A and B are shown apart, each in its own frame.
Chain A
Amino acid sequence: MMSQRRLIPILLLAAALALPALAQQYDFPYYGKNKVMYETFAWKSYATEHFQIFFYVDDVNVLKNVVDTAESAYRKVSSELKHELADPVPLIYYTTYTDFEQTNLFDISEGVLGVSEPLLHRIGLHGDMALDELQNLITHELTHIFEFEILWGSPGAALYAVSQPPLWTFEGLSEYLTGEWSSWSTLILRDTVMNDRIPDFSDSGELTSRYPLPREPAYDFGHAIYEFMEMRFGKNSVQQFFKSLKGGSPLLGRSDPLKKAFNLEPREFAQEFKKYLRSRFKDYFGRENPEDYSVPLGPEFPMNPYYFAFSHAVSPSGDLVATITFNAMDGDIDIVLLSTRDGKVVRNLTKGYTARYESIKYEIDPSLGKSLAWSRDGDRLAFFARAGRKHTLFIIDPLNGATLQKIKVSLDQPVGPDFYPDGRKILFSAFEKGIRDIFVIDLETEKTTNLTRNDLYEKAPVISPDGRSVVYSVRVAAYDKLFLSPLDDFQKKKQLTFGQGNTVTPEFSADGRTIYFSGDIKDAYNFYSLSLDSGELRRYTDVRTGNFFPAPLPNAPRTVIFSSFNKGAFQLFKSESPGVVEQTLTFADIGTSDTFKKFEPILTLEINKDKIQAHSGMGQLFVASRPPIDAIVSTDGSIYGGSSLAFTDILGDHTFSIAAYQVRDFRSIFLGYINQKRRFQWSITAFQYTVYYYPDLYYYDPTLWSNMNYQDALATQKITGASVSAYYPLSRYVRAEGSFGFFHYEGDFYDPYSLGTMASMASGYFLNGDILSASVSVTGETTRFKQYGPAAGNTFRLALDLALPAAEKFLHNTTLEADLRQYIYIGSDFLAAFRLRGFASLGRDPYLGYYGGNNQVRSANFYSLLATKYWYANAEFRLPLINAASTIIGPVGPFRGVLFFDVTQSQFRDYPAKFYRYDPDFSTSGFPFYREFSAIGSFGYGIEFFIFGLPVHVEFAKRLEWPSLSNPFGFSASGGFITNFWIGYDF
């Protein structure tokens, strides 16, 4: 499976090879960002009874953890599903998330922990997590492999699969077999049950929710469905049900298995399931909603565009609370300031789009700690954001959002920043080589130091107001417990919370004598306070769902700001609840030699170091995906169509591909090899491409159309070539590319008369001859896209192509191309877009450039302008009209408006750089004549709307003419508005 982001540069590369200098990207006019392979991993492999583990970490203990958890997961899943896999599972283990992102096998986005694929039954995952979480992750992904094999057979058999059961049958079973409910999952489940928002089954058997859910319902509700099956029909029913999905026909409806397995119609099953869920959570119905004991602060979507409060930090003055939220209007994560008095949005500190970072880092799991922090003087706000390979610590001015400082962090998944009282350092937790520790970063020297350096999985550190101690959580067995340590010595520690349940998101009171935190001692997360003097534990809420990040206001210590999950989203609330005393705790110092109970997998196996093998070369090759087969038989008996086939190695570093297509107008054969093992990637390709041109007799006798096939072509142009290409991403946004190749252009006329006529013309119809081509280009794209196209950022491409004069008969020229674009996002989907595009082909045999029409020069017909040198410039103002319209043919939209202006100049070889227009007006000169202009252009307006995903444009353009561009305002408009209709993407 090849990732989409990886695919785009490769496709562009292939396109650049096929048409070296004339690549016109009018179909999808974007260059794409880069997926950078920052490191070349030295892969090793280790075979266990049921896995082939690929890894590169040197620490054998890490390998042992993977082996133990993987084999433990296998034993569990195999015995539960009563199934044995036929082949060992390739498990590709990346030490960290940022390494995992570099995989060639999957398209990994932020938050993805692991992936399993149905074709070759590969599992890919990373190790930035605690061991018990890794156990659950491997169990989840391995269950998918069992599912694939039960449904479709051993590796490769998915190529023939025709049916796919609903998503919940897969994800639900995978979650169910972990045997665990994460706090996040139970929160979602409980919230939907409490608020009567349980998803329903669609006709196709999928789970659908009428209300927004923060997670695809297939996971948590699928998990609950399997639990329901076990409770209602017995433990065997789970595997019986899944096995009954095998062989299901997509034509017979996906809901049949419910009837087959349980003799219940889907509607009856759904009803029984809902009853089960309500019964399961009936004890919670008597508990409180956040409104019962607090005042909502916001963000109040849809009253304002901000949805969700992922994390928050109260300002030192207590007047403001900064929160990380989703800006639904811009489709972006923002940091906004809310008033703690009334919840009013005071300011969006990260308004609009920026290229400073890709995205602000936030965590959906509150136990990792808050994602932003105020300095104690209130002058700075710190957060982490993704920028480049890893994350960067950003320190911004809370008044205007200006960046005051940014420091690159070499660690993985940094979270929970907290300023030291003197403001010179920041404490946070992060992963170093797969182990989470607490670190300090010096803001002056920018040096990072590991303060804990152990395997206790510490997180969410918060420094006391006096700067002497720090409270944080430690993973003890499978629970997070709070600990207190001197800030300068994490070896000394005092355990603050005990027993069953998690205690997370600690925060000191302003006097430093009380710690507020969130705990699920009563199953749901409530917020508590713990007096460090008396040990008094006070609970403030008895909530149905969950409350997190309690933070007392410095200026009103009895008022606590917290986030609560309610009706599918986190929102901030303010409470002055007095709370109830639960118990009095006694704390004890933990000795340095004391050990904590750790999670242990079911199986522990010895690692035989002699069995560790270096993985080099390609190894066995596999079919990468189901080959598309296109076949058309025309009424004259001609067979058209084609297919492509790609083979890759197990890690996706090497890809061989072959493609052959033939339709009426062209025939192509393509052979290629791409090496993606390193950051520097290269490919070799060979191709032959033949274009068929037909006589226009069918204009006079349409019946001839059906009698002509490619053998009746009037002329053909055949391009045969081979090339070597290279691609090197300088960053996620900028890349350098180059290629060297030989291409043979051969035009052929089957009618000798035509050949003679055309050969006598100044320019032949076809380019003929050999080309030894060398090209280099630099491409950059920071552009951020929304559903309608580019919204902000910039794009550029500079390319130089040389047709080298290797011999006299070789074509030779020098071609330069430039494409510069800038997008200025104004807000609310209003934006200005600018483009300058230039093309110049110089030398004895210059290439021709065709342009015009669409969104290039709108007053000219499509590709009607022909030149060896040209440039054109566009300026557009794009605005929203209708976000979506529900029509009888389904949803159509968004509808957008555009005001445009363009101008162009061009020159054909040695001819004057002029445009001509036939002017039939006799009044000025007494006879018709051609008027000449130095430049032409257009202005006008139009609308764009999306139908079936296609951008359709209807525009009204008027031609502009400049006698001389030395007088840029000396232009005149010519004729009336012409109407253009075209389908294509905005530049």
Chain B
Amino acid sequence: MLLRLTRVAKFYGNRLVIKDVSFEVSAGTVTLLAGPNGAGKSTLLKLMAGLSRPSAGSVEHGAAPDASGDALGYLGHQTFIYPELTAFENLAFWARLHGLAPERCSEEALLAALERMELKRFAFERAGGFSRGMAQRLNLARVLLLSPSLLLLDEPGTGLDTRSMAILHREIAAARDRGAGIVWISHSVAEDLARADRVLAIADKRVVYSGPAADYVPEAVAC
């Protein structure tokens, strides 16, 4: 178990966003988080990330299977990029902040991570000039550098070109094969269903489906 939510509810002020969510993420699985806009998917992901505290219930993080990796990686539509720094400097900052071991944040390691994202040519250019796809790939490089055991994705594919999208899908699959647990909010559920093992669907502030991806019928909640 990498993550366990028990009867989680969240209020913003007086407004109920989500309630009574119980859910588990285990290693080596991809869970697709589905539901209409405004159903509380992003809120749920922030609760999972520990960025936001549940108003009721509990969120527990399990220990990583191997202690080498960072516990958690979070990839949202916001890129976490400092536009005034170069791609390399951006990556180096996050590596240093997370206190990665020297061999994992050496210049070669960082350049290799950029290479994998096909960004090595732009390593020493200001990240502010990057296109949406490049910026998001840099963001992905940051997350993967941490080699997290739990990977939370909040519509990472929004506005991406096909090449960036392909890289994103490749890395999600690679992370799962490595044994990471992945929770993924996708803007095109029907298309990404094939890439998922499980589905957690929410609508009207509560869970409407939780089970294998194969048995999930998207139309049931598409209202």
Do A and B share a complex? no
Chain A residues within 8 Å of B, Cβ to Cβ: none
